[in-house]
Every structure is written in C-alpha cells, then in structure tokens.
C-alpha cells in the first residue's frame, strides 16, 4: 500500500486530490493532502472582494468539509522543506513520508525584489491584500494612481480587472483621479493574442487608462512609482502585483531553476525525481499561470501518477498549455479568451454581456457546490 501525498490544496491540489480519490478507489493506496490553510480561496473573485462587490464568505469554503466527505486525509500544516531522497515532507506538525508526491504549492509573492512595494503598494493576490485595498479605497479621495504588475509575474489578468474596476469606482464615487498602467510585456496582454491586445488597447483609451510598457518596476515610494526606464509616475494609490517565484518549501526540488519553479515534462512528472509530479503555479512553464491551467495540469499529473502506481503500462498523457479566461470589464461587458499556447487547438476570442455572467456563475458553482462536474470533481462513490 503506497502513500500518495499532495502538497497544497489550491486549484491544482484540490483537483488532484479528488481526481486521485476517484482513480485509486478500491486500490487501498492512501491519499493525504497537506496545506497550511484549511480555507479554499476562489482567487479570481479577490478583485470583487477589494471593490466591495463580494464578501470573504462569498469566495471561500472550508476544505475540511470537502475532505471529510470524500474521506481524504487532510493535514493542516506548513511545509518547510521537501527531502526527495528520504521521500519526506518536513512540516511544522512533524515529518510526513510519501511514496508518490504531487507538488501544488502555488507561487510566492517576492516583495523583496521591488524596494518599497510591500510598504507602499497594494495587490489582490490574497484575501488580506484585497481587504487592505478595500480599506485603502475608503481613504482615497482622488489623485494619480498606478496599477499593473511587476516583472516575473505570470498572472496579468487581475491587474486589468483592477484598473477597469478602479475607473468605474472613481466614476461612481465622483472622485477625480488618473490611472497609469504598467506591465513588462512586449504588448498589452500579449499571451492572449493580437485581437485581445487590440481590444484592450481600445478599452484603455476609451477609459483614459494610460499604459506604460514594456517596463519593469524599479522602486515604489509613498508618492510615486519609479520605472526601469527612469520614468517616475506620481501615485497616491499604487496597486501592483509583486513578482512571482516558487515557494521556499520546494527549493530543494528546483535544482538550478533561477526562480525556484519545478521543471517537468509535458506529462507533469518532475524531470529530476520520477516519484514526484507537479501541477499549478509551482511548475516551471513559461506563460500564464492560471487556475484553469492548474486544474488541467493536475488532471494530467494524477492520470500519469496513477498509471505508474498501478503499473498499467499505459503511456503517459501529455498536457497542452492553454489559457482560458474571462476579463470582466466592470461595465456588464466581458471578454472571453481561450488559447492553446503550444498548439493551435483552441483560438477563441469573444466579447459580450454573457461572459461576466458566466464568470460569476462559475465562481458561485465552484464555491457553493463541491460537485463541479465539468472537471469531474464529483464526490467519489
Ligand atoms: C486576483 C486574481 C484573479 C485571478 N483570476 C483568475 C481567473 O479569472 N482565471 C484563472 O484561471 N486564474 C485566475 N487567477 C490565477 C489563479 O488563481 C492561480 O493561477 C491559481 O490559484 C494557482 O493555483 P495553484 O493550485 O497552483 O496555487 P494556489 O491556488 O495558490 O494554491 C497553493 C496551495 O498551496 C498551499 N501552500 C503554499 N505554500 C505552502 C506551504 N509552505 N505549506 C503548506 N501549504 C502551502 C496553499 O495553502 C494552497 O493550498 C487569478 C489570481 C488572482 C490573484
């Protein structure tokens, strides 16, 4: 009987756990999920939390209930390191041994890489961050603002939504302010394709949001943002996503990856440690890191890990990197983009009022019904 351990319980870890339970039922293998927080946060709704359109309760649920109902062993613990030779996770609750491991630890926000960002900047990457911004908005009575994301961020969409929500918020609250938008990409929202770039450029122009880019953030001061090209943007409210890097706990598996991401093949198996699979933001792939990609990767990882464990001899399935997202323009309209980044399989670009509604319905379903059929997240029998 093997011990299969999943490190992390966000989009990737939760998907992996429930899928694995289904695939390994009747096999006798044990599944354990380890995460430092027993609350699942539906991160795509954090922008709405910041702008007072959702409460924390609307966008979170208790993982213990899900794992109890699915009879998956859940350990609430902070992982401090992973020893691949001893096949052990070191945690603040003691060591946990594994035979097979799925690493799904998400990303770390590397504030230290941009001086002043922690002290003078806001972001919507965590519930605390979103709530701090909500509070800051009560003290904002106008003036220049800077929104965007720093170098090495691989999730840009939220910053667009923040800029668009902020512009609506200024109008609603009759506050006179300006929005400068900063990002490091060669073109605005480049990974979403030329149609998305063109559309968003038009929307930004209509809504008087001025883009500065491609540019990196050198420093954030209380009253301005200093860019890598020497430009200084005055700002009384700075909302910038900090750089991403791999969680400290996975450092020991990252080899010489400069940002501590874990390298895998397209089958999501670690290139260094065959008993380890990786899914979600923890993976070293270029391009957007999304909840969507995290779930697809988790499905691939789980399928392949199961074939190894059960020695079926079936070939590994391969993951196809694709982004899929709805950008809520904050006006009732939205944009849907689905794009395969390694192949031409999906290239969709649609605009309409149905997309924000679809996004809201998806968020509601995810948080309120753990039975999320599209992804096969129904309860194991
Ligand atoms: C504001 C915002 C809006 C977004 N909008 C979208 C969207 O519209 N569509 C989309 O697809 N994606 C969106 N994303 C991106 C998406 O949320 C992330 O890509 C996704 O959360 C990554 O999933 P993950 O499972 O890899 O990591 P996470 O969801 O971050 O989960 C990481 C897990 O690991 C655990 N963990 C981390 N470190 C440790 C440790 N040391 N010990 C124990 N446990 C640990 C955490 O507790 C958590 O359970 C958005 C993100 C943000 C911030």
In this structure, are residues 13 and 247 in contact, taking their beta carbons and an 8 Å threshold? no
Distance 380 CA to ligand 1 centre (A): 24
pLDDT at position 154 is 92
The two beta strands, 224-227 and 217-221, are antiparallel
pLDDT of residue 51: 97
Q: What is the 3-state secondary structure (H, E, C) of the chain?
A: CCEEEEECCCHHHHHHHHHHHHHCCCCCCEEEEEECCCEEECHHHHHHHHCCCCCCHHHEEEHHHHHHHCCCEEEECCEEEEECCCCEEEECCCCEECCEEEECCCEEECHHHCCCHHHHEECCCCHHHHHHHHHHHHHCCCEEEEEEECCCCCCCHHHHHHHHHHHHHHHHCCCCEEEEEECCCCCCCHHHCHHHHHHHHHHHHHCCEEEECCCCEEEEECCEEEECCCCEEECCEEEEECCEEECHHHHHHCCCCCCCCECECCCCEECCCCCEEECHHHECCCCCCCHHHHHHHHHHHHHHHHHHHHCCCCCCCCCCCEEEEEEECCCCCEEEEEEECCCCCCEEEEEECHHHHHHHHHHHHHHHCCCCHHHCCCCCC
Beta bridge mates, 244: 109
- The pLDDT value recorded for residue 198 is 95
Ligand 1 mean position, distance from CA 300 (Å): 18
CB of 49 sitting under 6 A from ligand 1: no
pLDDT at 373: 54
Q: How far is the CA of 96 from the centre of ligand 1 (A)?
A: 23
Q: How far away, in angstroms, is 374 Cα from ligand 1 center?
A: 20
CA distance 359 to 141: 31
Dihedral sign for Cα atoms in the order 189, 194, 200, 204: positive
Say yes or no: CB of residue 330 within 6 Å of ligand 1: no
What ranges do the domains of the chain cover? 3-106+247-322+370-375, 114-243
Out of 77, 106, 157, give the residue to mutate to test ligand 1, the one with the largest number of ligand atoms within 8 Å of its CB. 106
Give the pLDDT score at 311: 95
pLDDT at 374: 52
Under CATH, domain 114-243 is a member of which superfamily?
FAD/NAD(P)-binding domain (3.50.50.60)
Print pLDDT tens along the chain (381 aa).
999 999 999 999 999 999 999 999 888 999 999 999 999 999 999 999 999 999 999 999 999 988 998 899 999 999 999 999 999 999 999 999 999 999 999 999 999 999 999 999 999 999 999 999 999 999 999 999 999 999 999 988 899 999 999 999 999 999 999 999 999 999 999 999 999 999 999 999 999 999 999 999 999 999 999 999 999 999 999 999 999 999 999 999 999 999 999 999 999 999 999 999 999 999 999 999 999 999 999 999 999 999 999 999 999 999 999 999 999 998 899 999 999 989 888 889 999 999 999 999 999 988 987 656 555 565 544
- The confidence score (pLDDT) of residue 156 equals 86
> Going by CATH, does the domain composed of 3-106+247-322+370-375 fall within 3.30.420.40?
no
Q: State if residue 127 touches ligand 1 by the CB under 6 angstroms criterion.
A: no
**What's the pTM value of the predicted model, to 2 decimals?**
0.96
Same fold, 3-106+247-322+370-375 and 114-243: yes
Check if 21 has its Cβ closer than 6 Å to any atom of ligand 1.
no
What are the Cα distances from residue 248, in Å, to 210, 243, 285, 326? 36, 14, 18, 31
Residue nearest to atom 49 of ligand 1 (CA): 9
Q: For residue 48, is the peptide bond before it cis, meaning its omega torsion is within 30 degrees of 0?
A: no
Which candidate, 270, 258, 234, places its Cα nearest to that of 110? 258
Cα(28)–Cα(30) distance, rounded to whole angstroms? 6
Question: Ligand 1 centre and the CA of 133: distance in Å?
Answer: 19
Which of 49, 42, 124, 13 lies closest to 365, judged by CA? 42
């Amino acid at each position: 009987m093997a011990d299969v351990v999943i490190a992390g319980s966000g989009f990737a870890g939760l998907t992996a756990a429930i899928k694995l339970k289904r695939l390994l039922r009747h096999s006798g293998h044990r599944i354990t999920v380890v995460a430092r927080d027993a609350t699942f946060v539906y991160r795509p709704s954090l922008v709405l939390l910041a702008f007072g359109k959702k409460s924390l309760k609307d966008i979170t649920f208790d993982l213990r209930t899900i794992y109890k109902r699915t009879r998956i062993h859940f350990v609430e613990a902070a992982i401090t390191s992973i020893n691949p030779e001893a096949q052990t996770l070191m945690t603040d609750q003691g060591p946990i041994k594994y035979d097979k491991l799925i690493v799904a630890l998400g990303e770390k926000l590397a504030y230290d890489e941009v001086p002043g960002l922690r002290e003078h900047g806001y972001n919507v990457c965590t519930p605390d961050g979103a709530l701090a911004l909500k509070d800051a908005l009560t003290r904002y009575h106008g003036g220049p603002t800077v929104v965007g994301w720093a170098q090495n961020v691989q999730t840009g969409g939220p910053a667009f939504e923040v800029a668009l929500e902020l512009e609506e918020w200024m109008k609603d609250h009759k506050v006179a302010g300006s929005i400068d938008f900063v990002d490091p990409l060669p073109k605005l929202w480049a990974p979403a394709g030329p149609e998305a770039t063109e559309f968003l450029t038009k929307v930004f122009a209509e809504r008087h949001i001025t883009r500065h880019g491609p540019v990196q953030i050198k420093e954030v001061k209380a009253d301005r943002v200093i860019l890598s090209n020497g430009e200084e943007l005055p700002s009384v409210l700075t909302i910038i996503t900090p750089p991403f890097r791999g969680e400290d706990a996975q450092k020991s598996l990252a080899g010489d990856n400069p940002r501590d991401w874990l390298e895998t093949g397209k089958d999501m198996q670690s290139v260094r440690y065959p008993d380890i699979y990786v899914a979600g933001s923890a993976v070293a792939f270029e391009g957007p890191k999304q909840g969507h990609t995290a779930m697809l990767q988790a499905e691939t990882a789980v399928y392949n890990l199961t074939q190894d464990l059960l020695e079926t001899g079936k070939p590994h399935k391969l993951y196809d990197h694709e982004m899929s997202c709805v950008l809520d323009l904050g006006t009732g309209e939205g944009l849907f983009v689905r794009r395969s980044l390694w192949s031409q399989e999906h290239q969709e670009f649609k605009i309409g009022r149905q997309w924000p509604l679809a996004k809201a319905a998806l968020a509601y379903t995810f948080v309120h019904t753990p039975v999320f059929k599209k992804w096969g997240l129904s309860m194991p029998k």
